[in-house]
Chains A and B, each alone.
Chain A
Amino acid sequence: MIIWYLFLLLSIWCLGFILARLLLNKPHFLEWIGISFILGSFVIGLIWYILNWYADVPINRELGNWTIAICFALLAIFRKETLYHFIRLMQDRISKIRFRSISFIGISIIILYSMTTFLPNAIIPVTDWDALTLYDFRALIVNKTGFFSSPAIVSNYFLGYPPFTSIGHLFGYIFDFYGVKMFYSALILSLSLTFYGLCRKYSSSLSSILATALVITHPLVVSQTYFAYTNLPYMIYYGLASIYLIQWTQSRSHKDMLVAGILFAGSSWIRAAEPLYILAILNALVFLFLFKRFKNWHHLLLLLTPFFFREWWFYHINNTREAFNIHSPVSSELLSSQTDMLDHGIRVINFVFKYAISDFIWLLILAAFAAFFALKQKNLLAIASSVFVSSIVAVLFYGTYVFSKSFEAWENIPDSLTRLSMILLIPACFLVSSLIFKSTDKKHLRRE
């Protein structure tokens, strides 16, 4: 059964591969390989969900088989535009690879490490608390009944969380395969390839390898690799989207902005509660003025993709609530009986430092160095990354402050803040990778 599961993952990758051909602007070949799975799993999941909800197509083995057949057929049809093009791209690169070079050894170790996460995730079934109460339970019920509209999983509790990881688990369950956490390993592998490819466009191979190692071996990421929670996928989609947005400031290509928009929409498909895409729009506006990209202002409209996507999702769950006669949850009002502002503010700052910043303190110090060098060398890409990183840090403080005003027991759940703060990691490491180490393509960095 695992064979069919792997075929399905491969077919998802194939679909993403075609999409990546359309969307990416001058990709590094590893970036292309990696982002394919990330795009594909978002698109396939969305298609399955829409077919299931609006067209009553049950999610079962048959749908899995059709998905495999269609995706492979699509790749076969468009082989000239995609595969052959990719092979040509790779031939250029591969002829340059020296097998004893530090970049080849480094990326091999990183890939090898990512591969080792597949074995435990294939063997150990899902046993993590939140997954059992929510994501995996929803997957089990859909596997049993075939539908997301089964009464057991239509309640405010389930509607509060989009079904990305549940569908990720269903990829295995429909083929009676229970090692569904392999999906997270596949995401980690894709992340390491994509991130290396993205960094490699702008920095030397050594700094790209070190930055990739910083991302995938960070203690929080390592622990989440073996957990069936939504935080790791969220970090991957949000972080990579932010890098495409940062890349846009230099490439000025609408394609980069479109990929960023799609990936931000993907992050809303994983966790809808936090509207963090707004941060991206604000950053894009800052970039517009900071780098004087006024000619390309209309590209910013592409960043509305996550906005429309999220609006659709809320419209959809509101409709569901009406159809199933569920009362929407009482929106929490701001607590007025708080202690004085200053005291409360200090408590929030301490809390965020203790549970979010302390895990990244060394990385942030390095990022601060990198930002310093970026300003000195007028490395625009790194300046853009530092703006993004600092805005995330600011939003962690601000978000916690707002949350603490609306939820009295806010100090009792530090774990979710720690896991949310993982979105810092990818942009911060991208910033660190842009450091000093003999940039290969300085022309690209200093176009102005």
Chain B
Amino acid sequence: MHKPYFRLLFFCSSLSLIGAALLELIVYTGVIQAKLQLPVNPITYAGTLMMMIALFLHPKKIIGLSQTNVRRLFWFAVSIWLSTFFLYISLRGLDVVVHQNYVLSTWGVHVNSLPNLLFALTVPILLLVRIVYPVANDLIPSKPFAKLVFAGIIALVLQQSINAASIAVTKNWFSLSIISKSKSERMIQSLSGREIGGWIVPLTDMINTFTPESSVIFTPPQTSYWRITGNGAYMRYFIYPRRTIVRTDIQANIPPEATHVLISYGLWPTGSGDRGWPKIDIPAEHIDSYLEIQRPSGIIIDRTGDDYVYDPAVEQWGLIELNKL
């Protein structure tokens, strides 16, 4: 192909790469991949390919601009890259601190697409940096094979680092948002809040407050919705030195050595259906005390004197102390 056309083609494709990344920013992440039914994200792979090509081009001849204008263009590209990076960090922070999908619901921008934009913006920078700083050419290996490998490494490092920075930023923002809270509240937050995994903390706090250390607590089997409250090793961390006792049959009767029964509505987040446990009724004459704890507020209601009636339609959490007599 004639060289000027090739250069034109390169510039058009690098612009369309940026355009594609911008499109994903507004529509949704992975829209091009989904519409074209590709197995991988085209922006990343096209970007890597173009970085490889960029290292083979002779940068002095590529742009018909004067040295000053090239310099201006370079710093313009760098400042766009840096502002996009900081925008990405701040938007991620907003999503973490305010609430998930805050940015999407407020401004309609898909934050997850910004790394692709950063990736696409690197291609022109990689090309321009060699004109502005000719010394950069010394860093690039001279042999064609080595050039390919070098571009591959740069692309890989770039992609990984952007993701790593994003995770680090998310973690840092999250930790700053809980820095003033108590240890157990921090634990609740990092276990995804009281509605999900973090509920284990108030629930076991109640057990620790209202039971003696020698008690044996009957818990649901470690299946379907009860994979958290039914896991003896996991529960032990929170309620040690109290013990748990488990039966594999979900309908099983209360074992004689149990002193307490945990009422568990199933903490495993996925699936829908009948989550209530225990699936048997316990009459009031077998109950010494009957405490109900409301999710997510953690308010404890004393229902001693009532029968425990299994009702699949009602979400119920609590603790029953059994009457041994």
Q: Which residues of A contact B (CB under 8 A)?
A: 102, 113, 116-117, 119-120, 122-125, 127, 129, 132-134, 136-137, 140-141, 152, 157, 178, 206, 210, 213-214, 216-219, 222-223, 226, 362-363, 365-366, 369-370, 373, 432, 435-438
Interface residues on B, range: 35 or more
B-chain residues with CB within 8 Å of residue A113 when the two chains form the complex: 164-165, 168
9-residue interface stretch from B21-29, B172-180, B295-303: B172-180
Interface mask (B152-190 → A, CB under 8 Å = 1, otherwise 0): 111011001101110110011011101100010011001
B242 to chain A, nearest CB (A): 12
Sampled A-B contacts (23; CB under 8 Å): A113-B164, A122-B175, A123-B175, A123-B178, A124-B186, A125-B186, A125-B187, A136-B237, A141-B240, A152-B241, A210-B153, A218-B160, A219-B163, A222-B164, A222-B167, A222-B168, A226-B167, A226-B171, A366-B153, A435-B141, A435-B149, A435-B150, A437-B150
Complex CA gap A89/B248 in Å reads 65
Residue on A nearest B197 in the bound complex, by CB: A127
In the assembled complex, the Cα of A216 lies from the Cα of B237 at a distance in Å of: 31
- Considering only CB atoms, which chain A residue lies closest to B162 in the complex? A217
Question: What is B's interface to A at a CB cutoff of 8 Å?
Answer: 138-139, 141, 143, 145-146, 148-150, 152-154, 156-157, 160-161, 163-165, 167-168, 171-172, 174-176, 178-179, 183, 186-187, 190-191, 231, 233-234, 236-237, 240-241
B183 near A178 with CB under 8 A, answer: yes
CB pair B164 A435 closer than 8 Å: no
User: In the bound complex, do residue A120 and residue B175 qualify as a contact, i.e. CB atoms below 8 Å apart?
Assistant: yes
Judge whether B160 and A217 touch: CB under 8 Å. Answer: yes
Q: Which of B145, B148, B150, B156 contacts A363 (CB 8 A)?
A: B156
A120 to B175, CA, bound (A): 5
* Interface contact A124-B160, CB-CB below 8 Å: no
Shortest C-beta distance, A271 to chain B (Å), equals 18
A365 lies within 8 A of B152 (CB): yes
Residue of A nearest to B148 (CB): A369
Provide the residues of chain B in CB contact with A124, threshold 8 Å. Answer: 171, 174-175, 178, 186, 190
**Distance to closest chain B CB from A62 (angstroms):** 24
Complex Cα spacing A125 to B143, Å: 50
A132 vs B237: C-alpha distance in the bound complex, in angstroms? 6
Other A-B pairs, 19, CB within 8 Å; known A125-B187, A223-B167, A438-B138: A120-B168, A123-B178, A123-B186, A125-B186, A129-B234, A132-B234, A132-B237, A133-B231, A152-B240, A213-B157, A213-B161, A217-B163, A218-B160, A219-B163, A222-B164, A435-B141, A436-B143, A436-B150, A437-B146
A214 to B159, CA, bound (A): 10
Cα(A136)–Cα(B148), bound, Å: 46
* 7 nearest A-B residue pairs (beta carbon): A120-B171, A217-B164, A123-B175, A133-B233, A120-B175, A217-B160, A132-B237
Contacts of B160 in A (CB 8 A): 213-214, 217-219
Shortest CB-to-CB span from A138 to chain B, Å, is 10
A369 touches B237 (CB 8 A): no
Q: Contact between B153 and A116 (Cβ–Cβ < 8 Å)?
A: no
B150 proximity list for chain A (CB < 8 A):
435-437
Docked Cα-Cα span, A226 to B172, in Å, equals 11
Which residue on A lies nearest to B138, using beta carbons? A438
Candidates A119, A122, A133; contact of B234 at CB < 8 Å: A133
The answer to whether B240 touches A370, judged by C-beta atoms less than 8 angstroms apart, is no
Chain B residues with CB under 8 A of A102: 139
List the B side residues contacting A134 at CB < 8 Å. Answer: 233
Do the beta carbons of B156 and A214 come within 8 Å of each other? yes
Q: How far is the CB of B182 from chain A (nearest CB, A)?
A: 10
In the bound complex, do residue B167 and residue A369 qualify as a contact, i.e. CB atoms below 8 Å apart?
no
Known: A124-B178, A125-B183, A219-B163. A432 touches B237 (CB 8 A): no
Q: Nearest CB to that of B157 among chain A residues?
A: A213
Give the distance in Å from the alpha carbon of A134 to the alpha carbon of B232 in the complex: 12
- Bound-state CA distance A357–B227 (Å) is 30
Contact of B187 among A127, A226, A435 (CB under 8 A): A127
Q: How far is the CA of A254 from the CA of B232 in the complex (A)?
A: 49
On chain A, the residues within 8 Å of B233 by CB distance are 133-134, 137, 157
For B145, B153, B174, B175, the residue with the greatest tally of chain A CB atoms inside 10 Å of its CB is B153
Shortest beta-carbon distance, A390 to chain B, in Å?
Answer: 18
Nearest chain B CB to A349's CB is how many angstroms away? 20
Q: What CA separation (Å) do A121 and B292 show in the bound complex? A: 35
A206: chain B residues within 8 A (beta carbon): 139
Beyond A137-B240, A222-B167, is A116–B152 a contact (Cβ under 8 Å)?
Answer: no
Task: Give bound CA distance, A217 to B159, whole Å.
Answer: 9
Q: Chain B contacts of A366 at CB under 8 A?
A: 149, 152-153, 156
Establish whether residues B149 and A370, one from each chain, have CB atoms under 8 Å apart when the complex forms.
yes
Residues of A within 8 A of B168 (CB): 113, 116-117, 120, 222
Q: Closest CB of chain A to B307's CB: distance in Å?
A: 35
CA–CA, A113 to B148, complex, Å?
27
One of A116, A123, A137, A140 near B179 (C-beta < 8 A): A123
In the complex with contacts A214-B160, A436-B143, A140-B237 CB distance below 8 A: yes
B186 contacts which chain A residues (CB < 8 A)? 123-125
Residue of B149, B156, B174, B187 touching A120 (CB-CB under 8 A) = B174
Cα(A436)–Cα(B148), bound, Å: 12
Shortest beta-carbon distance from B160 to chain A in Å: 4
Pairwise interchain contact A217-B183, C-beta atoms closer than 8 A: no
CB distance A214 to B153 under 8 Å?
Answer: yes
Residue of B nearest to A137 (CB): B237
